[in-house]
Amino acid sequence: MKKALFLVGFVLMALCLASCLNGSSGTESPQSTAPELLQKSVPQDYTDLGLPSGTIWRNHNAAGFYTYDEAEEQFDNRSLPSKKQWEELRAECDWSWNGSGYYITGPNGNSIFLPLTGCIACDSSFHNKSFGGYYWSSSIIGWGDEIYGLAFGSGAVGIEAYRRCHGFSVRLVLN
């Protein structure tokens, strides 16, 4: 009985809130419902995976390779995923290998794709295009010569320390 009364009260409160937001007196039917009011506005080129943190991931990589300093300057450090956001993506989502990268499906069923990218080493040589994906995070280690990055191949996904002079791909987030 208490649950039913609580539910009725919650529905009435949601209808009242919808009426107030729509400028109605409450006597006409509301223009929108409470669940619609709670939905996030997600830009078209981003995907909400339903993660506990609320992080929204971009659907595609930024074009090119970036040293950490270039990525930080061009994209703003807040747009680069943190180590914690990469860890959440690993822990909360299903990762499915397809031979050229991972489809990552979130708790809500939405997905993004992280392709193999390769990387540019500090000596400017290109490596691992056919079997490695490398992505920067915004998380600096210690005195700052090393940055956490996500690296993966067909059998493993890891978050490791890399020198900031490497050229990695960038996948942006909305926080």
pTM: 0.76
Burial letters 65-98, b for 16+ CB under 10 A, else e: bbbbebbbeebeeebbbbbebbbbbeebbeeeee
DSSP secondary structure code for residue 165 in this structure: T
Residue 128 or residue 86, greater confidence: 86
**Domain boundary assignment for the chain:** 2-38, 46-174
What is the CB-side half-sphere exposure of residue 91 using CA atoms within 13 A? 10
- CA 131 from chain centre, in angstroms, equals 23
Cα–Cα distance between 109 and 50 in angstroms, integer? 8
Contact 2, 10 (CB under 8 A): no
Q: What is the pLDDT of residue 92?
A: 98
| 100-123 tens-digit pLDDT | 999 999 999 999 999 999 999 999
- Whose CA is closest to 122, among 145, 90, 99? 145
Whether the per-residue pLDDT at 175 is higher than 90: the answer is no
Ranges assigned E (strand) in 69-156: 94-97, 101-105, 111-115, 119-120, 126-127, 133-141, 146-152
| 35-90 tens-digit pLDDT | 444 456 899 999 999 999 999 999 999 999 999 999 999 998 789 999 999 999 99
- AA letter at 117: T
3-class DSSP state of 154:
coil
